[in-house]
Chains A and B, each alone.
Chain A
């Protein structure tokens, strides 16, 4: 009898050990997957710094591209082009996105709001190359030419759903009693929304806007056949315009070492720009007091 009990004990002990071991093994695998992703990020980053940084200098930052074969030259036109198109896109995209977010959070109930919310999510998941196609048919073709305006429009189109959904999420965090307090004081609802609800979440909304800007600043596909590219400095928004991502793409697939180096240097600048926006907003904008649900 006692030996049987002993056997059972040994058996369960063995099983327990096996289960414990399996658990440890799986935990090891899970850690490994996290490590794999992290090391890929470090590899991408490392190469961009290692190959890009040595070629970033004043000449690269402030001069125009040189023809093939000549050394030197830079991407000044592409930097300006990206800044200008992102700015033009933001002028349309930011107000549109924020107001849609306001509608969704302050009035958005029922079928129509569901439709808007769903459309915003769908718009956010449309491949960016399809956005480019749409803008080509909508703007480039009727205007009979590639233009920075078309490029900016495609960037705006990508920004809108991101900003809208983010704004909605943030405004929903504003506790209802703040709205009620404002309304009880006799403040018109639109003023309550603009002056109390929106202003209270300004920090978070700014973060969302900055993230959207960082996202579109790196977009290449929608610019390929809307803004096209331009080897010269151009500030006229109705003409084709260079942009940093498109320039990186063109230089990366070209068979010239000189251009490939410039692509890495451009990539370094782009990555720095995107990450400064990403990290800067994360640390600079502190969550506001309103950002907690009651």
Chain B
């Protein structure tokens, strides 16, 4: 029998691949390697072609108005064939930022509670419940939003806020129920699992000794969390926040159902609005003119690029943090 060299998993790439591709390596092994490699390459191809196909589909809109004026025009009116993406970009940004403002502290709180505070059994239950929050399909959140959250906001919370804080432009105007505020609330519920699970990963990567050191110096529980957990995982928490933001930017169904679907820029958080994803969901299947389809594709392309940038930044950040911490351990 031919002696075949055994590339081991701890060897570095170039050596590893050179050995696997040598002529005297069993033919079947080389075939298997190439098959899996090809399939992995196809996955990269999917991502690249997604960008290219969207670019191609939106070329008409890019040619007719240019990207800069497309995102800075504030009228979106399919009837008059005027397509400016500013209102939907505004809606996306405001609803996402609002959801982060609500979800980020809550998620960090949950992560600290589960990892640092709660007894193991309770921690496991809470962790499980939060994971379940991530398993609920978006359309179910939307349904709950339409029939439970929106009526509650319209009847109770929003009138109260308007009467107390109505002098502030963010909280003025009639209480529609549907609008940016509801969208932000629903979104925050949906990104809590993302942010809290990544934060838990980041916290868990911190060496035990660091916590014990703080406690040994006489720190209270909260001081221990602040000094040895929060202080050293700032970058990781930022990454978790960005991942949550990436999810909030692209979330579609729940937002489409509660945001009111009116492409406008109004200071009040209680006014109906439209986001980038909801305008696609609402109009794409019914769009007939080429320019309309192409403009919606351009909105999709912008959404693709924006989520790509935020998620890749976040990913790299979280990877670096958890890896370097693990090495320290």
Contact = CB atoms under 8 A, between A and B. Distances in A.
Contacts of B109: 29-30, 32-34
Interface string B239-252: 00001001101111
A215 B117 CA distance: 31
Interface in B153-187: none
Nearest to A176: B9
Given A33-B106, A122-B311, A179 B9 contact: yes
A104 B285 contact: no
Given A122-B308, A129-B250, A224 B137 contact: no
Given A96-B42, A157-B46, A133 B284 contact: yes
B79 interface: no
Contacts of A69: none
A37 B129 contact: yes
Given A37-B106, A103-B37, A115-B44, A188 B26 contact: yes
B36 A130 contact: no
B303 interface: yes
A127 B253 contact: no
Contact of A183 (B6, B57, B133): B6
A141 to B, nearest CB: 8
Interface in B1-36: 1, 6, 8-10, 12-14, 16-17, 20, 26, 28-29, 31-33, 35-36
Contacts of A241: none
B38 to A, nearest CB: 9
Most-contacted residue by chain A among B46, B118, B243 (CB, 10 A): B46
Nearest to A249: B139
B110 to A, nearest CB: 5
B126 A121 contact: no
B222 A27 contact: yes
Interface string A66-110: 000000000000000000000000000000100110111011111
A57 interface: no
Nearest to B315: A121
A121 B311 contact: yes
A225 B284 contact: yes
B273 interface: no
Q: How large is the interface on B (under 10, 10 to 19, 20 to 34, 35 or more residues)?
A: 35 or more
A253 to B, nearest CB: 6
A127 B277 contact: yes
B60 to A, nearest CB: 13
Given A176-B9, A218-B137, A220-B138, A123 B192 contact: no
Interface in A208-245: 214-215, 217-221, 224-225, 228, 245
B188 to A, nearest CB: 10
Interface string A253-281: 10000001001100100110011001000
Contact of B285 (A109, A228, A252): A228
B198 interface: no
Given A128-B250, A129-B250, A134 B44 contact: no
Contact of A125 (B6, B137, B300, B307): B307
A279 B247 CA distance: 24
Contacts of A267: 139-140, 143
A155 interface: no
Interface stretch (A43-51, A199-207, A285-293): A43-51
Given A31-B117, A126-B250, A106 B311 contact: no
A121 B44 CA distance: 11
Most-contacted residue by chain B among A111, A131, A136 (CB, 10 A): A136
Interface in B205-256: 220-223, 225, 243, 246-247, 249-253
Contacts of B144: 43-44, 47-48
Nearest to B247: A125
Contacts of B321: none
A37 B28 contact: no
A214 B225 CA distance: 36
A7 interface: no
Given A23-B222, A188-B29, A253-B257, A137 B136 contact: no
A248 B47 contact: no
B142 interface: yes
A119 interface: yes
Nearest to A121: B315
B43 A271 contact: no
A36 interface: yes
A164 interface: yes
A36 B106 contact: yes
Nearest to B39: A99
A224 to B, nearest CB: 6
B300 A103 contact: no
B269 interface: no
B101 to A, nearest CB: 14
Given A109-B12, A122-B308, A193 B147 contact: no
A161 interface: yes
Contacts of B20: 107
B130 A37 contact: yes
Most-contacted residue by chain B among A48, A112, A126, A248 (CB, 10 A): A126
Nearest to A219: B137
A100 B40 contact: yes
17 contacts: A33-B110, A38-B129, A44-B140, A110-B16, A120-B43, A125-B246, A125-B308, A133-B296, A138-B49, A180-B6, A218-B140, A220-B138, A228-B285, A245-B253, A274-B135, A275-B132, A278-B132
Given A138-B53, A161-B43, A176-B9, 15 more contacts: A31-B118, A32-B109, A33-B106, A33-B107, A33-B113, A37-B110, A37-B133, A100-B43, A116-B40, A120-B43, A127-B252, A129-B252, A130-B307, A133-B57, A270-B140
